[in-house]
Amino acid sequence: MYMKGHIKVDGRLLQTNKKWSHLKMSQKEWIDTKLKEAYKSFVGKNNRKPNKEEKEEIINNVYGMIEEKQVWLPLYELKQYFQGRIQRYDNQILKEKAVG
């Protein structure tokens, strides 16, 4: 018996209830790049981290780009992904400032 929302493919359990896991790697990398660029651009212009409403704006702008490419991904999954990446983006910004 497998966990709910999972199937076994090639000996691995894959989530069937999340669309992110079904995207191609190139699509995931493109989305990550767009989120990172939007976040870094905001921090560069405003010299601070975005608040909740500003994060929503960043997500909505990137989501619009995703829809233009005709990639289907639920907005809540994009929000979850973005929230999980913010610390990494902050670390990259700090690292770039230290080097530059």
- Strand spans (E) along the chain: 6-9, 12-15
pLDDT digits (tens, 9 = 90+) for 50-77: 999 999 999 999 999 999 999 888 888 8
- Judged against a pLDDT cut of 70, whether residue 100 lies above it is answered with no
Tokens of 25: 């790697």
Q: Please compute Rg for the chain using Cα positions.
A: 16
Average confidence (pLDDT) over 83-92: 94
Q: What is the DSSP letter of 66?
A: H
Q: How confident is the model at residue 78 (pLDDT cuts 50, 70, 90)?
A: very high
- Judged against a pLDDT cut of 70, whether residue 3 lies above it is answered with no
Tokens of 72: 């289907």
- Judged against a pLDDT cut of 70, whether residue 1 lies above it is answered with no
pLDDT digits (tens, 9 = 90+) for 16-43: 567 887 789 999 999 999 999 999 999 9
Amino acid, single-letter form, for residue 74 = P
Partnered with residue 12 across adjacent β-strands are 9
Would residue 47 be called left, alpha or beta, if left means φ above 0 and alpha means ψ between -120 and 50 degrees? Answer: left
Going 36 to 38 to 74 to 78, the CA torsion angle's sign is positive
- Output the pTM of the full model: 0.78
